[in-house]
Structure 1
Amino acid sequence: MTFKTPKQRSRERVVQALYQYLVSGGEVLQIEQQFLNQKQGKISKAFFSNLFINILKNRSLLDEIIAPTISRKTEQLGSVEHAILYLGAFELKFSPEVPYKVVINESLELAKLYGAEGVHKLINASLDKLAQTLREVELTN
């Protein structure tokens, strides 16, 4: 078993919460509470809530920036892929303090954990393209 930091566990839970929201809808605050109250593994609650709430607030913007990086419509993405791409795209756009390589690596780990076989390739290609536009400064340094 590999050690996970509270932030890594938080990202896992964000993907699970986004997945639940995308699949069954439901009340955002209820879903947030449900995942905050899970007992397994320590998470960074503020980090989790900030990501979950703000990703949902920015869904249409995130879909807009993800769309050109994938070969199908964003509505055709599976809920797991969509949730992971939302997380990765959000962090690339709004969390400049997190190095783009960390964002991509974390997303790939989540894709391997929750996604269908081979889905990490789509995630990698999409986030790589996003990093080239959203983190241009970082890539050229």
Structure 2
Amino acid sequence: MSDTTPRKSGKPSLTEMRRNARSFALQALYQWSMAGQSVNEIEAQFRVDNDMSNADTQLFSELLRGVTGASRDLDEAFRPFLDRPIDDLDPVELSVLRIGAYELMHRLQVPYRVAINESVELAKIFGATESHKYVNGILDKLAQRARSTEIRARRGNS
């Protein structure tokens, strides 16, 4: 049974749990960028205030802590592909780009297409009307750099 097949028991699939974790991480990163609270406070608050039983809490924590810890490096990685200064990005777009960049650069077990697609889905749900297209373009260019070997291997197998 693939991890996208609905479970008869009503439990969410691993894919759904990861998607939920990314959604919570995006909201927590938005709060971090807007309120300036500590990551520990935000994580504790999310775990208390939200039913995270259908989310991969380990992934949530990894994304929240990994993105905040590497935010400068992540920003520098995608900065060359932006059409405006980082400070002019919508905070939701910026958080989505950081999650996507983190997954492309630090979660190599996640296929690059999955990392991009998950970020695009977050942008569709939480971002402005056309932000998913912008996110897709930026992360696709970053993937060409960060995952060039994987991309070449994929093209060679198709």
TM-score range (shorter-chain normalised) is over 0.9
AA of the residue aligned to 2:47: L
Q: Hey, what's the Cα distance between the residues in 2 that align with 1:58 and 1:90?
A: 8
Q: 2:45 aligns with which of 28, 31, 34?
A: 34
Number of positions where the alignment pairs a residue of Structure 1 with one of Structure 2: 140
Report the structure number with the largest CA radius of gyration: 2
* TM-score with structure 2 setting the length: 0.84
Aligned to 1:126: 138
How much is the aligned-residue C-alpha RMSD, in angstroms? 1.5
Q: Hey, what's the Cα distance between the residues in 1 that align with 2:101 and 2:19?
A: 16
Q: Hey, what's the Cα distance between the residues in 2 that align with 1:23 and 1:78?
A: 11
AA of the residue aligned to 1:87: I
Which structure exhibits the higher relative contact order, with contacts defined as CA atoms closer than 8 Å and separated by 6 or more residues?
Answer: 1
Runs of 4+ in 1 over 6 A off after TM superposition: none
Residue-by-residue CA offset, 1:47-92 (whole Å, 9 max, x unaligned) = 1111101110101101101101110111111110000000000000
AA of the residue aligned to 2:84: R
Gaps of 5+ in 2: 1-5, 7-11, 154-158
Aligned to 2:152: 140
Q: 1:56 aligns with which of 68, 80, 89?
A: 68
Aligned to 1:12: 23
Q: Hey, what's the Cα distance between the residues in 1 that align with 2:121 and 2:66?
A: 22
